[in-house]
């Protein structure tokens, strides 16, 4: 999947499920959210066998954009890209990772927290800027404040996102949400509860779409 397509998919769907489990469970989780209409997953790069998971999902599910999350350095980023990662994201801001992604023509959204970090990430060439951990530092009110002062920067809210606040984060100005266990519960994975995961996916998608529909044109 080419860079403009990945970027457009993130903007359109607005939900990025985070997967940090073994290959078998990752395949199950990815297929479940994909069937529910979320054609994106983020595989945690620090999880055991992450590059194998990225490679497998990329090759086995053709309409799925598989990215790498918690990418901490350029070496890890290179391994993830070799495995087929369609995007790179990190918990904090490392400008060299942004530069590496640009050199390799891949979507990148580094983590940032302060206004200075957000602006620095955007100036470095990030496609989006991920506000992490978001809920812990003011939640949707913090997103609203950042969006008001830097409306040109597309923000992804991550950290503490759940069904109850997803609508508010999008309404506050987030272009997308990174969601882990609130969308793919560990119990649902272990018990192979595909319908439960799909129902959660539908609820998150509904929250995003409702919030977007109520925004002024």
Which tens digit of pLDDT belongs to each residue from 154-188? Answer: 999 999 999 999 999 999 999 999 999 999 999 99
- Pick the residue with more confidence: 216 or 28? 28
CA 56/CA 52 separation, integer angstroms: 6
Catalytic positions, please? 42, 130
Q: Give the residue among 113, 173, 176 at the shortest CA–CA distance from 140.
A: 173
**3-211 has which CATH code?**
3.20.20.70
Q: What is the pLDDT of residue 23?
A: 87
Average of per-residue pLDDT across 119-147: 96
Average of per-residue pLDDT across 68-77: 96
* pLDDT confidence tier of residue 69, bands split at 50, 70 and 90: very high
* pLDDT confidence tier of residue 57, bands split at 50, 70 and 90: very high
Q: Is the pTM of this model over 0.85?
A: yes
Q: What is the pLDDT of residue 95?
A: 97
* pLDDT confidence tier of residue 217, bands split at 50, 70 and 90: low
Q: Where are the domains of the chain?
A: 3-211
Mean pLDDT for the chain? 96
């Amino acid at each position: 999947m080419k860079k403009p397509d990945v970027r457009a998919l993130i903007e359109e769907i607005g939900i990025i499920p985070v997967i940090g489990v073994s290959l078998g469970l990752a395949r199950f989780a990815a297929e479940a959210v994909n069937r529910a209409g979320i054609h994106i997953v983020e595989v945690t790069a620090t999880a055991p066998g992450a590059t194998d998971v990225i490679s497998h999902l990329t090759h086995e599910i053709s309409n799925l954009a598989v990215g790498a999350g918690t990418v901490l350095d350029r070496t890890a980023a290179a391994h993830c890209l070799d495995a087929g990662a369609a995007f790179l994201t990190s918990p904090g801001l490392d400008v060299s990772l942004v530069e590496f992604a640009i050199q390799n023509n891949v979507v990148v959204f580094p983590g940032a927290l302060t206004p200075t970090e957000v602006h620095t990430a955007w100036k470095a060439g990030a496609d989006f800027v991920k506000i992490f951990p978001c809920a812990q530092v003011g939640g949707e009110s913090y997103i609203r404040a950042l969006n008001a002062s830097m409306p040109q920067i597309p923000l992804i809210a991550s950290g503490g996102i759940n069904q109850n606040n997803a609508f508010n984060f999008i309404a506050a100005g987030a272009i997308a949400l990174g969601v882990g266990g609130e969308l793919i519960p560990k119990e649902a994975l272990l018990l192979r509860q595909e319908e439960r995961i799909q129902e959660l996916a539908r609820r998150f998608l509904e929250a995003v779409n409702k919030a977007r529909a109520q925004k002024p044109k």
